[in-house]
Chain A
Amino acid sequence: DTGVSQDPRHKITKRGQNVTFRCDPISEHNRLYWYRQTLGQGPEFLTYFQNEAQLEKSRLLSDRFSAERPKGSFSTLEIQRTEQGDSAMYLCASSLVKRDRALQYFGAGTRLSVL
């Protein structure tokens, strides 16, 4: 499978715990994005990287959230001290920026439930 891969697919945690999600982009893609989607809503942008540089962060990304892409390949999204409001699907996407066009392809997501 050469698509965007996310792990784990599901995560159940108790309020106050830390969780970390991983995303492996399509291999030649240089940009990687994180979105969050709650029931009945479209995905909302969180942050994105070009190679290892984090280029933009949404105001939705509170100080409990941190994302890294240390070697410009896979990325991790960590949520510290989880709250029930963090329950959502966390989607990763990747793209190859080419001639100013960059189509984003999504992974299957990590579904987080905070109890």
Chain B
Amino acid sequence: RKEVEQDPGPFNVPEGATVAFNCTYSNSASQSFFWYRQDCRKEPKLLMSVYSSGNEDGRFTAQLNRASQYISLLIRDSKLSDSATYLCVVKLNTDKLIFGTGTRLQVFP
């Protein structure tokens, strides 16, 4: 079983739609959680950290459920520029990041 599992997609949504991505992780000792965004053939870029209380950054909302070992990302009012792969990431008590395979989002006009 992979340590971080994501639906690879693609998710094809029209501009203005709301889309949600889910991720599960296997190690209950995971301490920190993140979403990274990766454009085609580019490096991953930190989108947001994920906190137990949930957090929001503009159109993006992240949620963490430690009991279910589940992380989500909600994107409201999708823009064409949101088209990318979204990587779910966890960190244990060491400093290495463990990435999911990513969920591909394609926003169409």
Contact A48 B43 (CB under 8 A): no
Q: Known contacts A91-B43, A106-B43, A109-B43; decide if A40 and B101 are in contact (CB<8 Å).
A: yes
Residues of A within 8 A of B42 (CB): 108
Q: Among A35, A48, A106, which residue has the most Cβ atoms of chain B within 10 A?
A: A106
B59 within 8 A of A: no
B80 within 8 A of A: no
Contact A48 B95 (CB under 8 A): yes
B33 within 8 A of A: no
Contact A33 B43 (CB under 8 A): no
Contact of B49 among A40, A41, A95, A103 (CB under 8 A): A103
* 18 A–B contacts, CB within 8 A, in A order: A33-B95, A33-B96, A42-B99, A42-B102, A43-B44, A43-B87, A43-B97, A45-B96, A56-B94, A56-B95, A56-B96, A91-B44, A103-B46, A103-B49, A106-B44, A106-B45, A108-B43, A109-B43
